[in-house]
Amino acid sequence: MHRLLPMICSLSLTLAAARAAGDDGQQAARPDTLFREQVAPLLTAHCQKCHAGSEPKGNLALEPYLKRGSPVEDRKVWERIAEKLHTQEMPPEDEPALVATDRERITSWIDGTLARHDCGAERDPGRVTLRRLNRNEYDNTIRDLVGIDFHPADDFPSDDVGYGFDNIGDVLSMQPILLEKYLAAAQMIVERALGTEQVNLVTGEITGGQIIEGGERLLSSECEVRTQLRPFGKGDYIVRVRAYGEQAGDEPVRMGLYMDNNLIRTFDVNAVKGGPQIYEAWVPLQGGGHTYSIVFLNDYYDPQAHPPQDRNLIISELEVMGPYPATYKQIIPREHTPEDRQLLAREIIGAFMTRAFRRPATAIEVDRVGKIVEFAVAENENFATCIGIGLEAILVSPHFLFRVELDPEPNNPQSVRTLNDYELAARLSYFLWSSMPDDELIAHARLGTLRQGTNLSDQVRRMLKDSKARALVDNFAGQWLQLRNLKIAAPDKKAYPQFDEQLRTAMQQETEMFFEAIVKEDRSVLDFIDADFTFVNDRLAKHYGLSGVKGNNFRKVQLEGDQRGGVLAHGSVLTVTSNPTRTSPVKRGKWVLDNILGTPPPPPPADVPPLAEDSGAEATGSLRERMQAHRARADCAGCHSRMDPLGFGLENYDGIGAWRTEDGKFAIDPSGTLPGGKSFAGPRELKAILKERQDDFVRCLAEKMLTYGLGRGMEYSDKCVLAEITNAMQSADYKFSSLIIAIVHSDPFQKRRGKGSEL
């Protein structure tokens, strides 16, 4: 299926049928008549000879399919036929060729018939499997949720890959050990965000007051308890007092907290013996020594009362904690008193849960976690510790760990619904940022305005300019271009002594900066095939033979000549598509088919021996000559005829991307002929041919990006959407933003259907 979708014709249904009928604009014939009178005779004349009998070529006997004449019923077979005809692999070279009009008549009938069936008014938007956040998404979401960028997911098991990407719902399994990692990560995140791992900083002797039973200090007149402290450094600290009062008169005990004789805050201490409360306040401190005081502010004594009335303040504990991270105030936004502690806890839990779940938290959800926090608060625990218990519960909730989109009829495959604005905002943010929606996206979702007017397109353009769009470089480009493989590439030290870690890093950075420039500058995606600029430092410039570049800093350079330009000439791509000791035309050709043309070959037969690599191999001929002998098998020739010419067109680049004209004692021959007869003499002419096939490339890129954006593989129902995306890009001069905007406006991105047991 992955190989067939890119071959879908993007022309309108009417034109497809008209071309197939060959009526030059006259009314198209009926599809069944068209097949019987024009298509079937052509297939019989040109294909029946090889595709018949008990052992047909390619295990394809045409006769049953010609009798039925139904591309819809026999979709896989007919799309396979269309693919072979589109790429001009069939008929083979030793058989009479199909003239262009006959070839187009057959492919248009296949594409047009399937399009009529699949591209009607009621389309299937597909269904994205409930999926957990992958490691990159988890780290980025924690960064944006609590303001801490420390990559807790580094300790998680690696994510599986499907359809070329690690964000595919069907392969993101939940291993038992991962549950343990989530629990440990939640505790670590909360401790860092709230600073609850900080130690008590009261370092000096506590003086003042009268020491009573249990070590408490009684302030029986307007006096104070005082201590010295020396903070770790500049930052926000919390002064915390556990206290209660002996109440008397017409007002509660009043307490003042002072730092260096400056009043921080006053408290009414309503707590009584047997139920002390914690009173705390924030204070910014510099390094050095400070004096912290607790002052009893409203002494009262009435000896005439029966019994005598005496108001006193009792201090049970005294501490200063910190410095606290800035994230503390982001989570706990204001100071509190024991009386409003429960209310503030509910507010904090509700706000954090809404952000973590990427949608408004329900009253039941807040109540469930709130009761846990309230229990801890009632036990007079440290307030930040109480809040932390609730936050940990939220961070291990399925509604945080998974991208949840709940359907009213989840088991009904006929039930199609449009995502709500919160779900759409989450899809958009994880697509472009690999992270949660920001405040602006959530505001649109709350107001229901995300789809109004040009808002959705405007948000795409805004988000692509944001620094968080770097996630597209790391997670999309890193997998589409296979840059992640560069970290494990191991060129042989004897064959390539100039390769080192500095060069590896420079290669990676060149491609990342190139991709990012296309995104940020909204350039044409055709620049991926060939461009007149790149990014280098002195190390990479020397490797490429570029002059005038000095220093380790990367800079944009204009390219001249025919050696560089586009990702096909990047050292990163050329290295990951080589063997340790030599280039690999097969790997490079397959890479082009996979990632540029979108027509990957099938896996090789299991019994094909590897190419000889021993010391005497070179004596048998050049690499091209040895490979020609290697692919002599008939069942190998078909695929190699597509891969090898593309790979040999890049043979001027050695195994780590340096330009060369000789391979050992043999002169490099970078020429080739592609199926269909297109010939080239080197990399520049090869790239020119690839640009001529820009429709194939744009369709391939659209399929890769849609797969990544949805988190699922492509289905038959997506081919019409891919055609619409490529048409939209063409009308916008292939700008990168036009690709993203077309995807986020598509039905698969904005809708989902139920899943039946048969699907």
Using 50, 70 and 90 to split pLDDT, how confident is the model at 621?
A: low
Q: Please list the alpha-helical segments (H only) found in 50-91.
A: 63-68, 75-86
Assigned domain for 364 exists: no
Band (pLDDT 50/70/90 cuts) for residue 757 is very low
pLDDT at 609 (0 to 100): 59
Q: Which residue has the tokens 């048998």?
A: 620
Percent residues over pLDDT 70 in the chain: 89
CB 277 within 8 A of CB 380: yes
**Domain assignment present for 188:** no
Phi and psi, residue 701, nearest 5°: -65, -40
Written as one string, the DSSP assignment of 672-718 is EE-TTS-EESSHHHHHHHHHHTHHHHHHHHHHHHHHHHHTS---GGG
pLDDT tens string 407-462: 888 888 888 999 999 999 999 999 999 999 999 999 999 999 999 999 999 999 99
Q: Domain end: 303, 324, 345, which one?
A: 324
Cα angle: 587, vertex 593, 597; to 5 degrees: 155
Q: Burial of 236 by CB count in 10 Å (0-12 exposed, 13-18 middle, 19+ buried)?
A: middle
- Rounded CA-CA distance 53/63 in Å is 9
Residue 735 is classified by DSSP as B
How many C-beta atoms lie closer than 10 Å to residue 43's C-beta?
A: 19
Tell me the pLDDT band of 10, cut-offs 50, 70 and 90.
very low
pLDDT band at 104 (very low <50, low <70, confident <90, very high): confident
> How much is the pLDDT for 199?
63
Extract the tokens encoding 573: 């791509």
**How confident is the model over 226-248, as a mean pLDDT?**
90
Contact 287, 235 (CB under 8 A): no
Decide if pLDDT at 631 tops 70: no
Q: Tell me the average pLDDT across 704-714.
A: 97
**239: domain CATH number?**
2.60.120.260
Cα→Cα distances 65→75, 97, 346, 649, Å: 10, 22, 66, 38
Give φ, ψ of 655 to 5 degrees: -65, -10
Residues 481 and 586 in one domain: yes
3-class SS at 139?
helix
Helical segments of 195-296, H only: none
Are residues 212 and 304 part of one domain?
yes
pLDDT of residue 315: 96
267 domain-assigned:
yes
- Residue 509 pLDDT exceeds 90: yes
Check residues 642 and 576 and name the one with the higher pLDDT: 576
Average pLDDT over residues 745-749: 97
Q: Is 274 helix (H, G, I), strand (E, B) or coil?
A: coil
Mean pLDDT over 641-668 rounds to 93
Residue 262 has pLDDT above 70, yes or no: yes
Indicate if 227 and 98 belong to the same structural domain. Answer: no
Structure-model confidence comparison of residues 490 and 72, the more confident one: 490
Give yes or no: residues 209 and 60 share one domain: no
In the structure, how many helices (H) and strands (E) does the chain have?
A: 29, 20
Has residue 394 been placed in a domain? no
pLDDT of residue 87 exceeding 90, the answer is: no
pLDDT mean over 386-391: 95
pLDDT of residue 606: 59
Gap between the Cα atoms of 522 and 524, Å rounded: 7
Give the per-residue pLDDT at 612: 56
SS3 content of the chain, % helix, strand, coil (to 5): 45, 15, 40
Whether residue 369 is predicted with pLDDT greater than 90 in this model: the reply is: yes
Look up residue 680 and give its two tokens: 């080239």
Flag whether 347 is in a domain.
no
Whether 754 contacts 412, CB under 8 Å: yes
Both 734 and 630 in one domain: the answer is: no
Per-residue pLDDT at 14 exceeds 50: no
72 is written with which tokens?
A: 């819809």
Domain residues for the domain of 673 are: 473-605+621-692
Q: 548 with 560: CB under 8 angstroms?
A: no
Same domain, 648 and 716: no
- Angstrom distance (rounded) from CA 414 to CA 409: 9
Residues 670 and 717 in one domain: no
Q: For 60-74, 279-293, 329-343, which range has the lowest pLDDT when averaged over its residues?
A: 60-74
Task: State residue 200's pLDDT score.
Answer: 64
- Angle between helical axes of 501-520 and 455-465 (0-180°, round to 10): 150
Q: Please report the pLDDT score of residue 20 as a whole number.
A: 38
**Domain final position from 324, 340, 375:** 324
Distance CA 333, CA 385 (A): 15
508 has pLDDT over 90: yes
> Is residue 29 predicted with pLDDT exceeding 60?
no
Do residue 541 and residue 677 come from a single domain?
yes
Residues 598 and 654 in one domain: yes
More confident residue, 539 or 719: 539
- Listed range (299-308, 616-625, 750-759) with the worst mean pLDDT: 616-625
Q: Is 240 inside any structural domain?
A: yes
More confident residue, 537 or 87: 537
Task: Decide if pLDDT at 19 tops 60.
Answer: no
Whether 744 and 645 share a structural domain: no
| Same structural domain, 106 and 215 | no
Q: What percent of the chain has pLDDT over 90?
A: 64
pLDDT of residue 626: 62
531 in a structural domain: yes
Closest CA to 236 of 207, 201, 185, 209: 201
- Residues 164-184, mean pLDDT to the nearest whole number: 95
Residue 507 shares a structural domain with residue 647: yes
What is residue 330's predicted lDDT score, i.e. its pLDDT? 93
Nearest CA to 432 among 383, 389, 399, 465?
A: 465
Count of structural domains, the chain: 4
Tell me the C-alpha to C-alpha distance, in Å, between residue 325 and each of 188, 236, 280, 317: 14, 7, 17, 24
Q: Does some domain include residue 454?
A: no
pLDDT band of 632, cuts 50, 70, 90 = low
Position 131: which residue type?
R
Confidence of residue 35 (pLDDT cuts 50, 70, 90): confident
> Cα–Cα–Cα angle for 196, 197, 200, nearest 5°?
90
CA dihedral for 54, 59, 63, 64, sign (positive or negative): positive
- What mean pLDDT is predicted for residues 50-74? 83
Last residue of a domain, one of 90, 118, 146: 118
**pLDDT tens readout for residues 296-308:** 999 999 999 989 9
Write down the pTM of the prediction. 0.83
Residues 571, 575: Cα–Cα separation, whole Å = 6
Q: Are 303 and 249 in contact (CB under 8 A)?
A: no
**Mean of per-residue pLDDT scores for the chain:** 88
Q: What is the pLDDT of residue 17?
A: 35
